[in-house]
């Protein structure tokens, strides 16, 4: 537990200490956020705010993890997966702010690289004698044994790539994604400690600490945005924690807010294509409540509470013995 706290505090200190310098540098480079004109009109004032703050966020928790965590094969895999998703997000952001391509990477290219990294991690877990292609189910003492190919396909696509995109969708309001990831990362730190995976617990603690530090600059009104550089890397980090602690399906509970955000987009798209009408005023879900008249800070605070309830529910059914 001490190592987890040290890593979290170190990552927090790195972000707080280097945040002003990083923001000033991003502003000097004119790496400003491009805001959708078809979104909530209140967001137009955010145009030009520096983005790609995920550079500092990811660097902070990576450095803190390497300095504090005991070495281990599972930790190396988690760091490699996070780095892979980080570079996908970085490429996407650079195409937007440097090449002035509004949509960045084409969706199929982005999904290809996300799945490639996701399948790599899932396959490594599946063939590991220590971990294996087994799925535990919340509330059930048994396990589901899958063929290696089935586990790789499901975990790589749904857990890894799915989580990365879900965090990316949630990153639409100041502080929302960073706070939700903090809560989920703390939950996985407790699960990892309960299973004796100190290296993964330290990694999760560092992720939580870095996100807390980032909230200092990203809270309404935001001084910087994490961009895809941060959101995809954080999603990759959570997905790898789920796989490497063998708590894959718990991510649907612990990251329940991300599931809701993703479902809102899926429902909106499918329903509109079938009927020509919308279920929500705007998707993802947080924009729906904004357009209902909720202030941004209220949406963020209430969604954080929803994320906390989901995480506590996941911990109540945690595999093995979680530390509380």
For 150-174, write each residue's pLDDT tens digit: 999 999 999 999 999 999 999 989 9
Say whether pLDDT at 307 is over 70. yes
Q: pLDDT value at position 103?
A: 67
Check: CB of residue 210 under 8 Å from CB of residue 61: yes
**Structure confidence at residue 223 as a pLDDT band (50, 70, 90):** very high
Q: Look up residue 312 and give its two tokens.
A: 């506590």
Least confident of 139-148, 172-181, 263-272: 139-148
Q: pLDDT value at position 179?
A: 97
Q: Look up residue 158 and give its two tokens.
A: 């749904």
Q: pLDDT value at position 68?
A: 95
Q: pLDDT value at position 98?
A: 77
**How many other CB atoms sit within 10 Å of the CB of residue 91?**
18
Q: Which residues fall within 8 angstroms of residue 240, CB to CB, at 6 or more apart? A: 77, 78, 81, 82, 121, 160
Say whether pLDDT at 238 is over 70. yes
Say whether pLDDT at 221 is over 70. yes
Q: Is 297 exposed, middle or buried (0-12, 13-18, 19+ CB in 10 A)?
A: middle
**Structure confidence at residue 102 as a pLDDT band (50, 70, 90):** low
Q: pLDDT value at position 30?
A: 81
Helix or strand run (H / E) with residue 136:
strand 134-136
Average pLDDT of the residues in 102-112: 82
Q: What pLDDT digit, counting tens, does each position of 3-59 carry? A: 999 999 999 999 999 999 999 999 988 876 665 555 555 555 566 788 899 999 999
Q: What pLDDT digit, counting tens, does each position of 114-142 carry? A: 999 999 999 999 999 999 999 988 877 77
Q: pLDDT value at position 48?
A: 73
Percentage of the chain beyond pLDDT 70 is 92
Residue with tokens 């991690």: 121
Check: CB of residue 323 under 8 Å from CB of residue 187: no
Q: pLDDT value at position 45?
A: 59
**Nearest Cα to 11, choosing from 56, 52, 50?**
56
Average pLDDT of the residues in 274-281: 92
């Amino acid at each position: 537990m001490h190592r987890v706290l040290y890593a979290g505090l170190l990552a927090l200190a790195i972000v707080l200490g280097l945040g002003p310098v990083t923001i000033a540098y991003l502003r000097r480079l004119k790496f400003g956020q491009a805001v959708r004109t078809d979104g909530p009109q209140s967001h137009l004032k955010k145009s030009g705010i520096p983005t790609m703050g995920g550079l500092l966020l990811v660097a902070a928790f990576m450095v803190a993890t390497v300095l504090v965590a005991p070495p281990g094969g599972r930790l190396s895999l988690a760091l490699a997966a996070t780095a892979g998703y980080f570079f996908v997000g970085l490429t996407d952001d650079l195409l937007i702010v440097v090449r002035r391509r509004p949509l960045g990477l084409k969706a199929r290219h982005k999904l290809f690289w996300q799945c490639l990294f996701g399948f790599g991690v899932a396959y490594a877990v599946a063939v590991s004698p220590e971990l294996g292609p087994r799925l535990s189910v919340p509330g059930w003492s048994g396990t589901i044994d899958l063929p290696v190919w089935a586990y790789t396909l499901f975990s790589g696509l749904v857990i890894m790539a799915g989580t990365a995109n879900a965090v990316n969708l949630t990153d639409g309001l100041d502080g929302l994604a960073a706070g939700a990831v903090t809560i989920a990362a703390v939950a996985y730190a407790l699960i990892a400690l309960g299973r004796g995976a100190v290296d993964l617990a330290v990694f999760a603690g560092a992720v939580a600490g870095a996100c807390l530090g980032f909230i200092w600059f990203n809270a309404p009104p935001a001084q910087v945005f994490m961009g895809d550089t941060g959101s995809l890397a954080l999603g990759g980090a959570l997905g790898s924690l789920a796989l490497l602690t063998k708590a894959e399906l718990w991510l649907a509970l612990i990251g329940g807010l991300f599931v809701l955000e993703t479902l809102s987009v899926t429902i909106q798209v499918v329903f509109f294509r079938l009927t020509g009408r919308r279920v929500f005023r705007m998707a993802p879900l947080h924009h729906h409540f904004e357009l209902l008249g909720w202030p941004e800070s209220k949406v963020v605070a209430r969604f954080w509470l929803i994320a906390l309830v989901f995480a506590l529910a996941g911990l109540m059914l945690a595999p093995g013995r979680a530390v509380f």
